[in-house]
Amino acid sequence: MNDYLVKALACDGNIRAYAARTTETVGEAQRRHQTWRTASAALGRTMTAGVMMGAMLKGDEKLTIKIDGGGPLGAILVDSNAKGEVRGYVNNPQVDFESNEQGKLDVRRAVGTDGMLSVVKDIGLRDFFSGQVPLVSGELGEDFTYYFATSEQIPSSVGVGVLVNPDDTILAAGGFILQIMPGTEEEVIAKLEERLKTISPISILIGKGLTPEEILAELFGKDQVKVMETMPVQFHCTCSKQRFADAIVGLGKAEIQAMIEEDGQAEAHCHFCNEKYHYTKEELEQLLQEAK
Ligand SMILES: [Zn+2]
């Protein structure tokens, strides 16, 4: 089953809702970076929130999320866009802990709680929006909820979850973002808050294999949800051998000459997807000719 997300309206259009299944997407990140269980959960939760936030953008707009809570994981970096494409990495992928008291992966301990969640949106024409909030939980769902309330002034609820198999592969991943539109009556908000208290945790819902539509139906009741759009979701990196070659050319003749003399070759590494690109001496000599 391929990953996808849905954009929907709920409660007579008072609530904008996003829900996503990201099992394959997070699975690919896990394979590429060889993340251990707790690191997979932290990266997967951030990627899941990120791909839904990307779906709030238009056209060629894109965004970058950075979370650095001072924990053993280091920073989490996630890029996403309006096309359902997302990529991401953590500084230290081999991080895992015993489960916490609730029997869940101890994401807070891996991420840390002393730091910031920041979002930079590239909205075209060199125009950027950026927002930054202190981490309030380290579990990440609550941190995104706080980000929306504080930085974007949109009362929201964010639930993101990742379930991991004993062999480190990803069993299930997904989440939702609910946003209350201005002018929504208190009664509707109170009812939603009550529902959020009683509904099973998102990790349980995705573990049961619920689709994004079914997650929203659990939250609002089936007849209260109107799906507006469905979009495929995937891990996608923009790097290529040519892109790194362009970057090498940009270093200038002296630098490339030094690479040729010292190593006789070069290797470029993409942090986002862990791909490595190798350049032979002959290829470097070609790039030397192109450089200034
Ligand atoms: Zn890459």
Q: What is the CATH number of the domain that holds 115?
A: 3.55.30.10
Determine the pLDDT at residue 203.
Answer: 85
Write out the residue range of the structural domain in which residue 251 sits.
241-291
3-class SS letters over the chain: CCCEEEEEEECCCCEEEEEEECHHHHHHHHHHHCCCHHHHHHHHHHHHHHHHHHCCCCCCCEEEEEEECCCCCCEEEEEEECCCEEEEEECCCCCCCCCCCCCCCCHHHHHCCCCEEEEEEECCCCCEEEEEEECCCCCCHHHHHHHHHHHCCCCEEEEEEEEECCCCCEEEEEEEEEEECCCCCHHHHHHHHHHHHHCCCHHHHHHCCCCHHHHHHHHHCHHHEEEEEEEECEECCCCCHHHHHHHHHHHCHHHHHHHHHHCCCEEEECCCCCCEEEECHHHHHHHHHHCC
Residues 229 and 245 in one domain: no
Residues 249 and 229 in one domain: no
Q: How far is the CA of 68 from the centre of ligand 1 (A)?
A: 21
Mean pLDDT (the chain) is: 95
Residues 285 and 218 in one domain: no
**Domain finish residue from 218, 235, 252:** 235
Instruction: Please give the Cα distance from 78 to 92 (Å, whole number).
Output: 14
Phi-psi domain of 264 (left: phi exceeds 0; alpha: psi -120 through 50; beta: other)? left
Residues 225 and 287 in one domain: no
Determine the pLDDT at residue 123.
Answer: 87
For the ranges 15-24, 95-104, 192-201, the maximum mean pLDDT occurs at: 15-24
Residue 135: other Cβ atoms inside 10 A: 24
Q: How far is the CA of 32 from the centre of ligand 1 (A)?
A: 10
Residues 60 and 8 in one domain: yes
Residue 1 clears pLDDT 80, i.e. is over it: no
Q: How far is the CA of 86 from the centre of ligand 1 (A)?
A: 11
Poorest-pLDDT segment among 155-159, 220-224, 271-275 = 220-224
Poorest-pLDDT segment among 22-26, 108-112, 196-200 = 196-200
pLDDT in tens, 180-213: 999 999 999 999 999 999 999 898 898 899 999 9
pLDDT in tens, 122-173: 988 788 899 999 999 999 999 999 999 999 999 999 999 999 999 999 999 9
Q: Which residues surround ligand 1, an ion (CB under 5 A)?
A: 237, 239, 270, 272-273, 275
Residues 218 and 130 in one domain: yes
Q: How far is the CA of 133 from the centre of ligand 1 (A)?
A: 28
Average pLDDT over residues 34-56: 98
Residues 209 and 250 in one domain: no
Strand duo 62-68 + 75-81: pairing: antiparallel
Q: How far is the CA of 223 from the centre of ligand 1 (A)?
A: 42
Residues 28 and 165 in one domain: yes
Residues 77 and 9 in one domain: yes
Average pLDDT over residues 268-281: 96
Determine the pLDDT at residue 177.
Answer: 98
Average pLDDT over residues 242-263: 95
Average pLDDT over residues 118-125: 91
Statement: the pTM of the whole predicted model exceeds 0.75: yes
Q: What is the CATH number of the domain that holds 269?
A: 3.90.1280.10
Q: How many domains is the chain built from?
A: 2
Average pLDDT over residues 7-13: 95
Q: With pLDDT > 70 as the criterion, what percentage of the chain qualifies?
A: 100
Q: How far is the CA of 37 from the centre of ligand 1 (A)?
A: 22
**Domain finish residue from 189, 210, 235:** 235
Residues 272 and 132 in one domain: no
- Which one has a higher pLDDT value, 1 or 157? 157
Residues 231 and 245 in one domain: no
Q: How far is the CA of 13 from the centre of ligand 1 (A)?
A: 39
Q: How far is the CA of 117 from the centre of ligand 1 (A)?
A: 23
